[in-house]
Amino acid sequence: MKTHPLLTLLIALLLTVSGSVFAQTEMPAEARPIPPDDPRWDWWREARFGLFIHWGPVSLKGTEIGWSRAGERRDKHETVGGIPAEEYDNLYRKFNPVKFSAQEWVDVAKAAGMKYIVLVAKHHDGFCLFDTKTSDYNIMRGPFKLDICAELAKACRENGMRLGFYFSPPDWRDTDFFTADHDRYLKRMHEQVRELLTNYGQLDILWFDHNQGFGENNNPKTWDAAAMFPVIRRLQPDILVTKRAGGWGDFNTPEQRVGGFDNQTPWESCITICKQWSWKADDEMKSLAECLRTLILCAGGDGNLLFNVGPMPSGEIEPRQVQRLKEMGAWLAQYGGSIYGTRGGPYKPGAWGASTFKGSVVYLHIFKWHDGKIVLPPLTGKKILRATALTGGAVTVSDDGKALTVSASAPADIDTLVKLELDATASDLTPLKVILPVTGLTASASNVYQNDPDCGPNQAFDDDPKTRWATDEGVKQATLTVNFDTPQTFSRVEIREEYQRVQSFELQYKAADGQWQTFYKGAGIGGNFKTSLSAPVTAREIRLQILDATDGPSISEFKLTK
């Protein structure tokens, strides 16, 4: 049933009328973020690595949890799901995961070197993996009749594993949700949160989630957070809460990407081991190198990694995923000292690798070498007493006050780990950015933001999406040119743009007669542009001609490949 336009207007009024449950916006003391130096963060920084579990009746279909449910959602989001709501909502009647074992889940997490688990107790589809008294749409009403949250809480306590529950404030199945009767929904939602915080012992994390379709309505008023947060803090004083219930909470959660360096606000990247959050047969799985480097980059950015698996309909975690996690655990068994309990820095992570430190010990995780060495900014004011290649071979390190140069006799395939012992703590060092030299080409641009070399044209060719060529504010036309040492043949172009400001552009090469020839015209880059050319192009000099941009275009990656 579609919501009537007048009802939609009434909802909007309810969200703004003074005196309604939505109108209370002042943040109570209990909702203020836990300060980053509070002891409640100690276990979090020691852990650095956790297991995320997306699971439910939808695993029977092998499609995405929540999002594959078609039907009205009452939250301005498209109904893009492939499973009719009636079918999706009745999957729980057949959901009987007889091979589920909370102990096995905990064993897998421990074998991976993970220190905490976050289970999706309720996703946007509204199905509860716990024994709630607010709804019959839960695990106890299907054939399995076992409270998954209770079983996992018991196994975690018995094995010293920290535990958190993911809880979705949106509920696409609830007929009161985001309607004129939204206040009735809130009573049920708040009661479900109370159940999770009182029935399963001590919890370490409450992982609120929302979907982005709420726009301006995704705020504390929508969830009556001013009433909810004091209850959360009273029931679980030490719990850490995500900032996904209208922005209140303690830590940020970049999704499916490694967060940027931030040693002030705690953060945790949530990333899948495969493509999909919930289980899918033959889903593409990340390589060991990608998995480990993701973890290292998170720690190097001073964040955590919450790595997701989706158990199969039987309740078992897919064997190949278990094997990959065990491989990560084997690496951590050797080199976990460079991850657990460390802080990010003194070098910011990037395509080169990352660094972590603990007191006066700095760990360099090096992914990329140039002519057998890597040159980093100097550790001003610090003396290196000893350097050791933990992954094997010999290492040479010199710091002349202008550059710190590292050479290793046996670079490792995934991560060359170098331990530096300093004469004093590294905690007072300002985080340093690493700019890798770009070899085999010369880049130039018609404009560079404030003539800052950190925004120079080379940044578009360094294989690091976190760096970029940027132009000054107000620039609407610009040129980025690359001149290769030798002619290059390519048939594919990839351009990664920040802010999606480019409206029209041309790709050109310099012909033998010195004239620029256009080989592609585009209406806009749109963030992440990829195209295969109708015919290969061979040239030494290529340029991106931005013909029109809304304001100051910026390119993080410009790749030409065969």
**What is the predicted pLDDT for the residue at 27?**
86
* CB of 431 closer than 8 Å to CB of 347: yes
pLDDT in tens, 117-139: 999 999 999 999 999 999 999 99
* CB of 329 closer than 8 Å to CB of 295: no
Q: Which helix (H) or strand (E) holds 321?
A: helix 319-335
* 205-208 and 240-241 beta bridge pairing: parallel
Which residue numbers in the chain have pLDDT < 70? 1-25, 211-218
Distance CA 100, CA 152 (A): 10
In this prediction the pTM is: 0.85
Classify residue 375 by burial, with Cβ atoms within 10 Å: 0-12, 13-18, 19+: middle
Distance CA 327, CA 117 (A): 18
* CB of 378 closer than 8 Å to CB of 406: no
**What is the predicted pLDDT for the residue at 5?**
41
* Cross-sheet strand order for the sheet of 373-376: 373-376, 404-408, 395-399
Nearest to 101 by CA among 135, 53, 35, 142: 53
**What is the predicted pLDDT for the residue at 11?**
43
C-beta neighbour count of 452 within 10 angstroms? 9
**What is the predicted pLDDT for the residue at 218?**
64
Could you write out the DSSP letters of every residue in 210-276? --GGGGGG-SHHHHTHHHHHHHHHHH-TT-EEBS-BTTBSSBB--BSSPPPP-SSS-BEEEEESBSS
> What is the three-state SS of 188-216?
HHHHHHHHHHHCCCCCCEEEECCCHHHHH
Distance CA 195, CA 192 (A): 5
Q: 């920290």: which residue's tokens? A: 162
Distance CA 87, CA 177 (A): 20
**What is the predicted pLDDT for the residue at 217?**
57
**What is the predicted pLDDT for the residue at 227?**
95
Distance CA 207, CA 227 (A): 18
What long-range pairs does 517-523 form, CB within 8 A, spacing at least 24?
A: 520/493
- Which segments of 369-451 does DSSP mark as H helices, in order? none
Start-to-end CA distance of the chain, whole Å, equals 51
Nearest to 272 by CA among 263, 282, 285, 254: 285
Classify residue 471 by burial, with Cβ atoms within 10 Å: 0-12, 13-18, 19+: buried
**What is the predicted pLDDT for the residue at 25?**
59
Compute the residue count for the chain.
Answer: 562
Distance CA 348, CA 369 (A): 16
Q: Letter for the amino acid at 412?
A: A
Asked if the bond preceding 169 is cis, omega within 30° of 0, the reply is no
Q: 């140069």: which residue's tokens? A: 405
pLDDT in tens, 375-429: 999 999 999 999 999 999 999 999 999 999 999 999 999 999 999 999 999 999 9
**What is the predicted pLDDT for the residue at 196?**
98
Q: Letter for the amino acid at 500?
A: Q
* CB of 366 closer than 8 Å to CB of 355: no
Map out the domains of the chain with their CATH numbers: 41-338 (3.20.20.80), 345-422 (2.60.40), 441-561 (2.60.120.260)
